[in-house]
A and B are shown apart, each in its own frame.
Chain A
Amino acid sequence: MENYVIEMLNIRKEFPGIVANDNITLQVKKGEIHALLGENGAGKSTLMNVLFGLYQPEKGEIRVDGKQVEINDPNVANRLGIGMVHQHFMLIDTFTVAQNIVLGSEPKKGLKIDMKKAVREVQELSDRYGLQVDATAKISDISVGMQQRVEILKTLYRGANVVILDEPTAVLTPQEIKELIVILRTLVKEGKSIILITHKLKEIMEVCDRCTVIRKGQGIGTVEVSETNPNDLASLMVGREIHFSTDKKAAEPKETILSIEGLTVQDSRHVDMVKSLDLDIRAGEIVGIAGVDGNGQTELIEAITGLRKKSAGKVTLKNQDITNMPVRAITESGVGHIPQDRHKLGLVLDFSVGENIVLQTYYKKTYAKGGILSFKRIFDKAKALIKEYDVRTPSHLTKARALSGGNQQKAIIGREIDRNPDLLIAAQPTRGLDVGAIEFIHKRLIEQRDQGKAVLLVSFELDEILNVSDRIAVMFDGKIIATVDPKETNEQELGLLMAGSKLEKEGAHN
């Protein structure tokens, strides 16, 4: 008999109107990194929430170390040695790393919490697994990557033997992903088992031993990673062939749509994040902004769209000065915006999908007459976009909160592209999307370009930047330090540029 730490047999989990898991079986061997792969909404997070005791399955059996168990809340999961790092972190901002980690299982000295001991234990644990976490730092002061390591430490501190990671790399920069992979290897060496959810096939190929694929709530099977390749994985998961690099014809840029001159923008701490930046985008081209997170990309987009004040400079859209216009006027003058943070900006999570579809247009004559909304028209539009953009949801009346991450993103993208803006700003548009959806989104961006629209793409994924853009602007320290042709560059060169080194090739700077 095989030596499985975790066995989930024939699991079924229903939500109102949908079967999220239908007869799924997942068996994890001791000491392996096991990938869980599936389209957006396939039911991966649901399955893991069942394992972690957040949801109760309608049917099925769970075994830990061969023994059948009933996991009816996360405390039970912890006791059984199962830990989970959720896609959205659950840390308390104002607490220190150590405080967050020991929360709920604090070491005591009499009645008092023994904070010294807590810090010592956390630091020891961190050093042992090479997590490089400062136990006394405040959560609000550390990077996203570090916060994730704190989450991992939290599970280890509670004695996790099996660590579930739900799309850990979606929020990380390429450098942070490399560090995470090293950590995962260390964990396995120490005898832990890992379940890793990711949409990035490259990562599965690189670190995972086996991979279980689910499609539309159903288990498709488990494969040895060494005996497969990205293409097979993708077609297993989607049920059809997937093209990784998107075909497109050469761009035919026309008149300038967006023109930015000398733009300076401060963040909320009054530090200059965008520094006297110039950038032009023309009709019929996709300009990709490459850069390491935190070099002013967010502030740049917020300034263009009117969400953030500009301290100097001028922004022109189709020869119209939009520098000091309010958000709605800018939106109406022809700007579409797929925001980076979909939960914060892109959606009202407690609104239905239908209501979210008209978030930018609810006040227009089509939907509102004399102040009264026509829900028939709103929902007709919603149904149409749900279909066109393949948003997997029980209905347009479902709350946006109940959608899987990727499907929330598809709803936003549909909403923004459907308004047919002259300038489409897409910030991390494919973060958390499955390969099929990524292919689809890339096609739509290129389609917009071919219809003579200007597209500004901001992404930390170099693949995406290289594949989709017609021109790449490298952003470093608040400035565009180089503009390169994607056909004449590669990841290495971009990486160097993003780190701030100057371009050597003569003439490439246009």
Chain B
Amino acid sequence: MFSSTKFNFIIPIISVVLGLAAGAIIMLIFGYNPILGYQALWNGVFDSGFFMSETVNRITPYILTGLAIAFAFRTGLFNIGAEGQVLVGWIASVWVGTAIDAPTVIHLPLALLAAAAAGAFWAFIPGILKAKLGVHEVIVSIMMNYVALHLTNYLIRDVMTDNSESTEQVKQTASLTNDFLIGLTGSRLHLGFIVALFMVLVMWVILERTKLGYELKAVGYNQHASNYAGMKVGRNIVISMVISGLFAGLAGAMQGLGSFGTAFTNTAFSNLGFDGIAVALLGGNNPFGVILSASLFGFLKVGALNMSTAGVPNEIIEIVIALIILFVASGFIIRWALLQLKKGERK
């Protein structure tokens, strides 16, 4: 018999393998060479320090949005609003990064804090509406995503700049980039991954070691029993959303203070928040699992850019990712298949 923890590992791994295999079959069907295609994918990341660094920069915000979604899931909530929380976190970090003069030790933490606070506030709104009025968090968060998109565009165009599409660069004192790393790789590799890895620990500690995490999980699992145990159910829902939003806000700061060093207007969503759902799902909603799944996603997305050198359209990778998610989500089918296999062996 497989224990459920074993399944938590096996299902994502099988899903990834199946997803890649399906991608290969699709490439074959459309007359591409899958070996060359995947080789190009691999080389696209590992051939140069520059692209490896780009991959790390891609992974960093994925870890944080993955954590945001996973944290909400673990406490019984679906924070589909991570997308909007990323945007407001992004702009808040850039605002502090451009508007203030201070030494790095103050400026950088302050800018990160602003991003976290903005994301947290953006998640607070669906949280409080769910706690007080019972409105489902998914509905409100989706609306908040649109509000964030248009609000940040407005702020960039009409408040932070004079009708420009992009803000100025954040001051060096607030930047996550670092001359040494830039010199080493020639890329914009920034220190955000340290922040992200630190937040992985934060999430693990909160959920597995603290009184707060105990309450949040209890409320997520069973509101009636939590109420019976004297917990404040509404308050815990709000706190869950706020912490989730804080992770997402920081993901925005990774872009604003790191990868781009600026904020610019968007006509559509960045998808960082939405991809976070996939990251969390593949990572089994476990903070360490999120590191692995974010890494896979970052790798696939960056490597895909190189696939055209093998004549393979890089959209194929979007299909592979979608299939992986499909396989994870239908994990019970895999579980069933495994059990049948097991039974077959017994006879």
Contact = CB atoms under 8 A, between A and B. Distances in A.
Interface of A: 14, 16, 56, 72, 305, 307, 326-329, 331, 337, 339, 344-351, 355, 359-360, 362-363, 368, 371-373, 375
Given A16-B1, A339-B228, A368 B221 contact: no
A124 B26 CA distance: 56
21 contacts: A16-B1, A16-B3, A72-B343, A305-B228, A307-B227, A327-B228, A345-B224, A345-B225, A345-B228, A346-B225, A348-B217, A349-B221, A350-B221, A351-B221, A359-B218, A359-B225, A360-B229, A362-B211, A368-B211, A372-B211, A373-B209
From B3, B225, B226, B228, residue with most partner A Cβ within 10 Å: B228
Contacts of A373: 209-211, 214
Contacts of B215: 362
Contacts of A360: 229-230
Interface in B200-233: 209-212, 214-215, 217-218, 221-222, 224-231
Contacts of A347: 222, 225
B346 to A, nearest CB: 9
A337 B218 contact: no
A372 B230 CA distance: 19
A53 B209 CA distance: 40
B3 A371 contact: no
Contacts of A339: 228
A344 B214 CA distance: 18
B136 to A, nearest CB: 19
A72 B229 CA distance: 40
A348 B226 contact: yes
Contact of A348 (B3, B210, B221, B343): B221
A132 to B, nearest CB: 32
A53 to B, nearest CB: 13
Interface residues of B, number: 21
A327 B215 CA distance: 15
A331 B226 CA distance: 13
Interface of B: 1, 3, 209-212, 214-215, 217-218, 221-222, 224-231, 343
Would you call the interface of chain A mostly helix, strand, loop, or mixed? loop
A327 B218 contact: no
Contacts of B1: 14, 16
A300 to B, nearest CB: 16
Contacts of B218: 348, 351, 359
A371 B211 contact: yes
Contact of A307 (B3, B211, B228): B228
A375 B210 CA distance: 10
Nearest to A363: B211
B212 A371 contact: yes
From B209, B217, B230, residue with most partner A Cβ within 10 Å: B230
Contacts of B225: 344-348, 359
B230 A327 contact: yes
Contacts of B230: 326-329, 331, 360
A359 B221 contact: no
Nearest to A341: B224
B228 A355 contact: no
A141 B225 CA distance: 25
B211 A344 contact: no
B228 to A, nearest CB: 4
A371 B210 CA distance: 6
B210 A355 contact: no
Contacts of B221: 348-351
Nearest to B1: A16
Contacts of A331: 230
A229 B278 CA distance: 61
From B3, B215, B225, B226, residue with most partner A Cβ within 10 Å: B225
Nearest to B212: A371
B49 to A, nearest CB: 41
Contacts of B209: 372-373, 375
A351 B213 CA distance: 12
B210 A344 contact: no
Given A345-B224, A372-B211, 12 more contacts: A14-B1, A16-B1, A327-B229, A328-B229, A345-B225, A347-B225, A349-B222, A355-B214, A359-B218, A360-B230, A362-B211, A372-B210
